[in-house]
A and B are shown apart, each in its own frame.
Chain A
Amino acid sequence: MNKTATLAELSSLDRKLINLLQRGLPICEQPFAQIATEVDASEQEVIAALNKLMSEKVLTRFGPMYDAACLGGAFTLAALSVPEQDFEQVTEQVNSFEQIAHNYRRDHLYNMWFVIATESEQEIDQVVNAIEKKTGLTVLNVPKLEEFYVGLYLPV
Protein backbone atom coordinates (compact mmCIF):
# COMPACT_ATOMS: atom_id res chain seq x y z
CA MET A 1 0.00 0.00 0.00
CA ASN A 2 2.34 2.65 1.28
CA LYS A 3 5.28 1.13 -0.45
CA THR A 4 3.94 1.03 -3.98
CA ALA A 5 2.58 4.55 -3.53
CA THR A 6 6.10 5.72 -2.77
CA LEU A 7 7.45 4.05 -5.87
CA ALA A 8 4.76 5.61 -8.03
CA GLU A 9 5.43 9.04 -6.56
CA LEU A 10 9.05 9.12 -7.65
CA SER A 11 9.74 11.79 -10.23
CA SER A 12 11.80 11.05 -13.30
CA LEU A 13 14.70 12.94 -11.69
CA ASP A 14 14.35 10.80 -8.54
CA ARG A 15 14.50 7.64 -10.60
CA LYS A 16 17.53 8.76 -12.57
CA LEU A 17 19.33 9.68 -9.36
CA ILE A 18 18.53 6.41 -7.62
CA ASN A 19 19.66 4.34 -10.58
CA LEU A 20 22.81 6.36 -11.22
CA LEU A 21 23.96 6.75 -7.63
CA GLN A 22 23.57 3.11 -6.69
CA ARG A 23 26.46 2.57 -9.07
CA GLY A 24 28.62 4.98 -7.16
CA LEU A 25 29.14 8.57 -6.19
CA PRO A 26 31.87 10.66 -7.85
CA ILE A 27 34.69 11.60 -5.50
CA CYS A 28 35.57 15.07 -6.69
CA GLU A 29 35.20 18.60 -5.34
CA GLN A 30 31.61 19.10 -6.44
CA PRO A 31 30.11 15.63 -6.81
CA PHE A 32 26.50 16.83 -6.95
CA ALA A 33 27.34 19.30 -9.73
CA GLN A 34 28.89 16.46 -11.71
CA ILE A 35 25.84 14.27 -11.17
CA ALA A 36 23.63 17.18 -12.21
CA THR A 37 25.21 17.27 -15.67
CA GLU A 38 24.44 13.58 -16.10
CA VAL A 39 20.79 13.80 -15.11
CA ASP A 40 20.13 17.07 -16.89
CA ALA A 41 19.36 19.15 -13.80
CA SER A 42 21.06 21.81 -11.71
CA GLU A 43 23.24 21.11 -8.68
CA GLN A 44 20.58 22.68 -6.43
CA GLU A 45 17.86 20.49 -7.94
CA VAL A 46 19.95 17.38 -7.36
CA ILE A 47 20.67 18.27 -3.73
CA ALA A 48 17.03 19.18 -3.09
CA ALA A 49 15.80 15.92 -4.65
CA LEU A 50 18.25 13.85 -2.61
CA ASN A 51 17.34 15.61 0.63
CA LYS A 52 13.67 14.97 -0.09
CA LEU A 53 14.29 11.28 -0.81
CA MET A 54 16.21 11.00 2.44
CA SER A 55 13.57 12.80 4.48
CA GLU A 56 10.97 10.45 2.99
CA LYS A 57 13.27 7.60 3.95
CA VAL A 58 13.46 6.20 0.44
CA LEU A 59 17.22 6.55 0.73
CA THR A 60 19.03 5.84 3.94
CA ARG A 61 22.16 7.83 3.20
CA PHE A 62 25.06 8.30 0.85
CA GLY A 63 28.38 6.99 1.66
CA PRO A 64 30.67 4.05 1.84
CA MET A 65 29.92 0.43 2.54
CA TYR A 66 32.92 -0.69 4.53
CA ASP A 67 34.47 -4.12 4.30
CA ALA A 68 34.17 -5.48 7.81
CA ALA A 69 37.23 -7.68 7.53
CA CYS A 70 39.37 -4.71 6.46
CA LEU A 71 38.24 -2.80 9.53
CA GLY A 72 39.27 -5.72 11.70
CA GLY A 73 35.67 -6.67 12.39
CA ALA A 74 33.95 -10.01 12.09
CA PHE A 75 30.61 -11.05 10.64
CA THR A 76 28.39 -14.01 10.41
CA LEU A 77 24.95 -15.00 9.19
CA ALA A 78 22.96 -16.98 11.71
CA ALA A 79 19.48 -18.44 12.01
CA LEU A 80 17.06 -19.80 14.58
CA SER A 81 14.12 -22.10 14.29
CA VAL A 82 11.64 -20.29 16.51
CA PRO A 83 8.33 -21.81 17.65
CA GLU A 84 5.51 -19.62 16.29
CA GLN A 85 4.08 -18.74 19.71
CA ASP A 86 7.48 -17.48 20.91
CA PHE A 87 8.36 -15.51 17.81
CA GLU A 88 7.78 -12.03 19.19
CA GLN A 89 9.61 -12.69 22.43
CA VAL A 90 12.62 -14.23 20.67
CA THR A 91 12.74 -11.30 18.24
CA GLU A 92 13.08 -8.95 21.18
CA GLN A 93 15.67 -11.14 22.83
CA VAL A 94 17.81 -11.39 19.70
CA ASN A 95 17.49 -7.71 18.74
CA SER A 96 18.48 -6.67 22.25
CA PHE A 97 22.06 -7.54 21.32
CA GLU A 98 23.71 -4.47 19.84
CA GLN A 99 25.78 -6.75 17.57
CA ILE A 100 22.71 -7.73 15.53
CA ALA A 101 22.85 -5.78 12.27
CA HIS A 102 19.89 -7.20 10.35
CA ASN A 103 17.12 -9.50 11.33
CA TYR A 104 14.63 -10.95 8.86
CA ARG A 105 11.77 -13.33 9.22
CA ARG A 106 11.84 -15.94 6.45
CA ASP A 107 9.39 -18.68 5.55
CA HIS A 108 11.27 -21.84 6.45
CA LEU A 109 11.74 -24.06 9.49
CA TYR A 110 14.66 -21.72 10.18
CA ASN A 111 12.40 -18.69 10.32
CA MET A 112 14.64 -16.02 11.86
CA TRP A 113 17.81 -14.94 10.02
CA PHE A 114 20.16 -12.32 11.35
CA VAL A 115 23.64 -10.90 10.81
CA ILE A 116 25.98 -10.64 13.77
CA ALA A 117 28.67 -7.95 13.44
CA THR A 118 31.40 -7.73 16.04
CA GLU A 119 34.91 -6.43 16.57
CA SER A 120 36.50 -9.91 16.61
CA GLU A 121 35.91 -13.59 15.77
CA GLN A 122 35.94 -14.40 19.47
CA GLU A 123 33.12 -12.00 20.11
CA ILE A 124 31.01 -13.78 17.45
CA ASP A 125 31.21 -16.98 19.48
CA GLN A 126 30.37 -15.09 22.65
CA VAL A 127 27.28 -13.53 21.06
CA VAL A 128 26.16 -16.88 19.59
CA ASN A 129 26.50 -18.50 23.03
CA ALA A 130 24.70 -15.64 24.71
CA ILE A 131 21.82 -15.83 22.21
CA GLU A 132 21.51 -19.57 22.78
CA LYS A 133 21.45 -19.05 26.52
CA LYS A 134 18.91 -16.26 26.36
CA THR A 135 16.52 -17.94 23.91
CA GLY A 136 17.09 -21.59 24.79
CA LEU A 137 17.37 -22.29 21.03
CA THR A 138 20.29 -23.62 18.98
CA VAL A 139 21.84 -21.10 16.61
CA LEU A 140 22.61 -22.16 13.04
CA ASN A 141 25.86 -20.28 12.42
CA VAL A 142 26.91 -20.06 8.75
CA PRO A 143 29.77 -17.60 8.32
CA LYS A 144 30.90 -16.59 4.86
CA LEU A 145 33.63 -18.89 3.53
CA GLU A 146 34.03 -17.34 0.14
CA GLU A 147 32.51 -14.35 -1.58
CA PHE A 148 31.77 -14.57 -5.27
CA TYR A 149 29.74 -11.46 -5.81
CA VAL A 150 28.33 -8.42 -4.00
CA GLY A 151 26.49 -5.99 -6.20
CA LEU A 152 23.04 -5.14 -5.03
CA TYR A 153 21.49 -2.95 -7.72
CA LEU A 154 17.80 -2.16 -7.76
CA PRO A 155 16.69 -0.22 -10.82
CA VAL A 156 13.48 1.80 -10.39
Chain B
Amino acid sequence: MSLSINLATSKQKKTQVTIFPALNAEQQAKLRGLLEQGLPTCSRPYLALARKIGLAESPFIEQQVIEQIKLWQQQGLIRRFGLVVKHRKLGFNANAMVVWNIADTAVDGIAKQLSQCPEVSLCYRRPRRLPDWPYNLFCMIHGIERAKVISQLQAITERLNLSHIEKNVLFSTRAFKQQGARYG
Protein backbone atom coordinates (compact mmCIF):
# COMPACT_ATOMS: atom_id res chain seq x y z
CA MET B 1 0.00 0.00 0.00
CA SER B 2 2.75 2.45 0.87
CA LEU B 3 4.26 1.96 -2.57
CA SER B 4 1.22 3.33 -4.36
CA ILE B 5 1.01 6.30 -1.97
CA ASN B 6 4.64 7.17 -2.54
CA LEU B 7 4.26 7.04 -6.28
CA ALA B 8 1.22 9.29 -6.15
CA THR B 9 2.92 11.88 -3.96
CA SER B 10 6.09 12.03 -6.00
CA LYS B 11 4.06 12.69 -9.13
CA GLN B 12 2.11 15.49 -7.50
CA LYS B 13 4.95 17.03 -5.53
CA LYS B 14 6.33 19.51 -8.01
CA THR B 15 3.04 21.10 -8.95
CA GLN B 16 1.68 21.18 -5.39
CA VAL B 17 4.75 22.84 -3.93
CA THR B 18 4.43 25.70 -6.36
CA ILE B 19 0.68 26.12 -5.90
CA PHE B 20 0.45 26.26 -2.11
CA PRO B 21 2.32 28.98 -0.23
CA ALA B 22 4.94 27.58 2.15
CA LEU B 23 4.49 28.09 5.88
CA ASN B 24 6.57 30.86 7.40
CA ALA B 25 9.14 30.14 10.11
CA GLU B 26 6.77 30.86 12.97
CA GLN B 27 4.02 28.66 11.51
CA GLN B 28 6.54 25.87 10.92
CA ALA B 29 7.73 26.05 14.51
CA LYS B 30 4.14 25.90 15.77
CA LEU B 31 3.37 22.92 13.54
CA ARG B 32 6.48 21.05 14.71
CA GLY B 33 5.51 21.66 18.32
CA LEU B 34 1.94 20.47 17.81
CA LEU B 35 3.02 17.37 15.89
CA GLU B 36 5.33 16.44 18.71
CA GLN B 37 2.22 16.04 20.87
CA GLY B 38 0.71 13.80 18.23
CA LEU B 39 -1.67 13.95 15.32
CA PRO B 40 -5.29 14.70 16.37
CA THR B 41 -7.52 11.65 15.94
CA CYS B 42 -10.27 13.30 13.95
CA SER B 43 -11.43 12.81 10.37
CA ARG B 44 -9.38 15.74 8.98
CA PRO B 45 -6.35 15.95 11.29
CA TYR B 46 -4.24 18.08 8.95
CA LEU B 47 -7.05 20.63 8.63
CA ALA B 48 -7.36 20.69 12.43
CA LEU B 49 -3.62 21.34 12.68
CA ALA B 50 -3.82 24.12 10.07
CA ARG B 51 -6.46 25.88 12.15
CA LYS B 52 -4.54 25.35 15.38
CA ILE B 53 -1.42 26.99 14.03
CA GLY B 54 -3.55 29.96 13.04
CA LEU B 55 -3.53 29.76 9.25
CA ALA B 56 -6.11 32.19 7.89
CA GLU B 57 -9.07 30.22 6.56
CA SER B 58 -8.68 29.40 2.85
CA PRO B 59 -9.32 26.33 0.69
CA PHE B 60 -5.57 25.57 0.74
CA ILE B 61 -4.64 25.47 4.41
CA GLU B 62 -5.01 21.70 4.74
CA GLN B 63 -2.74 21.16 1.72
CA GLN B 64 -0.21 23.65 3.08
CA VAL B 65 0.18 21.51 6.20
CA ILE B 66 0.27 18.26 4.24
CA GLU B 67 2.94 19.60 1.89
CA GLN B 68 5.02 20.91 4.77
CA ILE B 69 5.03 17.52 6.49
CA LYS B 70 5.89 15.74 3.23
CA LEU B 71 8.73 18.18 2.69
CA TRP B 72 10.09 17.49 6.18
CA GLN B 73 9.97 13.79 5.43
CA GLN B 74 11.83 14.31 2.17
CA GLN B 75 14.46 16.44 3.88
CA GLY B 76 14.93 13.82 6.57
CA LEU B 77 13.82 16.01 9.45
CA ILE B 78 10.98 13.58 10.05
CA ARG B 79 12.50 10.13 10.23
CA ARG B 80 9.31 8.24 10.61
CA PHE B 81 5.69 9.28 10.74
CA GLY B 82 3.65 6.67 12.43
CA LEU B 83 2.52 5.52 15.80
CA VAL B 84 4.62 5.27 18.87
CA VAL B 85 3.95 2.12 20.89
CA LYS B 86 4.72 1.48 24.51
CA HIS B 87 6.69 -1.66 23.90
CA ARG B 88 6.53 -2.75 27.51
CA LYS B 89 2.78 -2.41 27.57
CA LEU B 90 2.60 -4.66 24.49
CA GLY B 91 4.57 -7.30 26.31
CA PHE B 92 7.94 -6.57 24.73
CA ASN B 93 9.75 -6.66 28.03
CA ALA B 94 12.96 -8.28 26.91
CA ASN B 95 14.85 -5.38 25.49
CA ALA B 96 18.43 -6.38 24.78
CA MET B 97 21.26 -4.04 23.95
CA VAL B 98 23.83 -6.20 22.21
CA VAL B 99 27.31 -4.68 22.13
CA TRP B 100 30.16 -5.99 19.99
CA ASN B 101 33.90 -5.47 19.94
CA ILE B 102 34.65 -5.64 16.22
CA ALA B 103 37.91 -4.81 14.46
CA ASP B 104 37.72 -1.33 12.98
CA THR B 105 38.34 -2.67 9.49
CA ALA B 106 35.41 -5.12 9.73
CA VAL B 107 32.85 -3.13 11.66
CA ASP B 108 31.09 -1.47 8.72
CA GLY B 109 30.54 -4.69 6.81
CA ILE B 110 29.24 -6.55 9.85
CA ALA B 111 26.99 -3.62 10.84
CA LYS B 112 25.40 -3.74 7.40
CA GLN B 113 24.77 -7.47 7.72
CA LEU B 114 23.28 -7.10 11.20
CA SER B 115 21.01 -4.30 9.94
CA GLN B 116 19.50 -6.76 7.46
CA CYS B 117 18.28 -9.04 10.25
CA PRO B 118 14.57 -8.48 10.92
CA GLU B 119 15.09 -8.98 14.67
CA VAL B 120 17.53 -6.07 14.88
CA SER B 121 15.71 -2.78 15.41
CA LEU B 122 18.63 -0.36 15.77
CA CYS B 123 22.27 -0.57 14.80
CA TYR B 124 24.79 2.16 15.67
CA ARG B 125 28.58 2.45 15.76
CA ARG B 126 29.82 4.16 18.92
CA PRO B 127 33.31 4.86 20.30
CA ARG B 128 35.21 2.42 22.51
CA ARG B 129 36.15 3.75 25.93
CA LEU B 130 39.17 1.71 26.91
CA PRO B 131 39.98 0.03 29.19
CA ASP B 132 36.46 -0.28 30.63
CA TRP B 133 34.38 -0.38 27.50
CA PRO B 134 35.82 -2.17 24.44
CA TYR B 135 32.56 -2.32 22.44
CA ASN B 136 32.16 -0.30 19.25
CA LEU B 137 28.89 -1.56 17.73
CA PHE B 138 25.46 -1.48 19.38
CA CYS B 139 22.26 -3.24 18.25
CA MET B 140 18.88 -3.50 19.90
CA ILE B 141 16.68 -6.59 19.86
CA HIS B 142 13.19 -6.33 21.36
CA GLY B 143 11.36 -9.49 22.33
CA ILE B 144 8.67 -10.87 24.57
CA GLU B 145 10.97 -13.21 26.48
CA ARG B 146 14.65 -13.21 27.27
CA ALA B 147 15.14 -16.82 26.25
CA LYS B 148 13.68 -16.11 22.83
CA VAL B 149 15.86 -13.04 22.34
CA ILE B 150 18.95 -15.02 23.33
CA SER B 151 18.13 -17.79 20.86
CA GLN B 152 17.49 -15.20 18.13
CA LEU B 153 20.87 -13.65 18.84
CA GLN B 154 22.50 -17.06 18.76
CA ALA B 155 20.95 -17.81 15.39
CA ILE B 156 22.14 -14.45 14.00
CA THR B 157 25.65 -15.01 15.36
CA GLU B 158 25.88 -18.42 13.72
CA ARG B 159 24.35 -17.35 10.44
CA LEU B 160 26.72 -14.40 10.05
CA ASN B 161 29.77 -16.28 11.41
CA LEU B 162 30.27 -13.90 14.31
CA SER B 163 30.91 -16.48 17.03
CA HIS B 164 34.56 -15.44 17.38
CA ILE B 165 33.67 -11.81 18.08
CA GLU B 166 33.54 -10.62 21.67
CA LYS B 167 30.08 -9.41 22.60
CA ASN B 168 27.89 -8.70 25.59
CA VAL B 169 24.12 -8.61 26.04
CA LEU B 170 22.63 -6.03 28.37
CA PHE B 171 18.96 -6.65 29.09
CA SER B 172 16.97 -3.79 30.52
CA THR B 173 15.34 -4.56 33.82
CA ARG B 174 13.47 -1.32 34.48
CA ALA B 175 12.61 1.84 32.57
CA PHE B 176 12.70 4.98 34.69
CA LYS B 177 11.99 7.53 32.07
CA GLN B 178 10.64 7.22 28.53
CA GLN B 179 9.83 10.42 26.75
CA GLY B 180 10.53 12.44 23.68
CA ALA B 181 9.78 12.22 20.02
CA ARG B 182 13.29 12.23 18.73
CA TYR B 183 15.83 9.81 17.41
CA GLY B 184 19.49 10.40 18.05
Residues of A within 8 A of B (CB): 3-4, 6-7, 18, 21-33, 38, 43, 47, 50-51, 54, 57-71, 73-77, 91, 95, 100-108, 110, 113-115, 117, 140-154, 156
Q: Which residue of B lies closest to A95 (CB)?
A: B177
Q: Which of B119-127, B148-156, B159-167 contacts A (4 or more CB under 8 A)?
A: B119-127
B66 touches A61 (CB 8 A): no
Residues of A with C-beta under 8 A to B124: 144-148
User: Which one, B82, B142, B181, contacts A66 given CB within 8 A?
Assistant: B181
Proximity string of chain B (5-39) to chain A, C-beta cutoff 8 Å, 1 when within and 0 when not: 10001000000000000000000000010011111
B46 touches A67 (CB 8 A): no
**Cα of A50 to Cα of B45 in the assembled complex, Å:** 14
User: Which one, B86, B115, B176, contacts A103 given CB within 8 A?
Assistant: B176
B85 touches A102 (CB 8 A): no
**Cα of A101 to Cα of B114 in the assembled complex, Å:** 26
Residues of B with C-beta under 8 A to A23: 2, 82
User: Which one, A32, A43, A69, A77, contacts B126 given CB within 8 A?
Assistant: A77
Residues of A with C-beta under 8 A to B181: 61, 63-66
Proximity string of chain B (66-108) to chain A, C-beta cutoff 8 Å, 1 when within and 0 when not: 1001101101111111111111111111010100000000001
B123 touches A63 (CB 8 A): no
Least CB distance, B137 to chain A, in whole angstroms: 8
Q: Please name 12 pairs of A and B residues whose Cβ atoms are closer than 8 Å in the assembled complex, sorted by A.
A: A25-B39, A25-B81, A27-B69, A62-B39, A63-B38, A64-B79, A66-B183, A102-B177, A107-B173, A110-B133, A141-B129, A147-B123
Count of chain B residues with a beta carbon within 8 Å of a chain A beta carbon: 79
Q: Which residue of B lies closest to A51 (CB)?
A: B41
Also in contact, A104 and B172, with CB within 8 A (given A29-B44, A152-B121):
yes
Least CB distance, A116 to chain B, in whole angstroms: 9
User: Which one, B41, B81, B172, contacts A105 given CB within 8 A?
Assistant: B172
Also in contact, A64 and B69, with CB within 8 A (given A3-B89, A6-B91):
yes
Residues of B with C-beta under 8 A to A153: 121
**Cα of A6 to Cα of B82 in the assembled complex, Å:** 21
Least CB distance, B70 to chain A, in whole angstroms: 6
Also in contact, A65 and B78, with CB within 8 A (given A33-B43, A95-B177, A106-B172):
yes
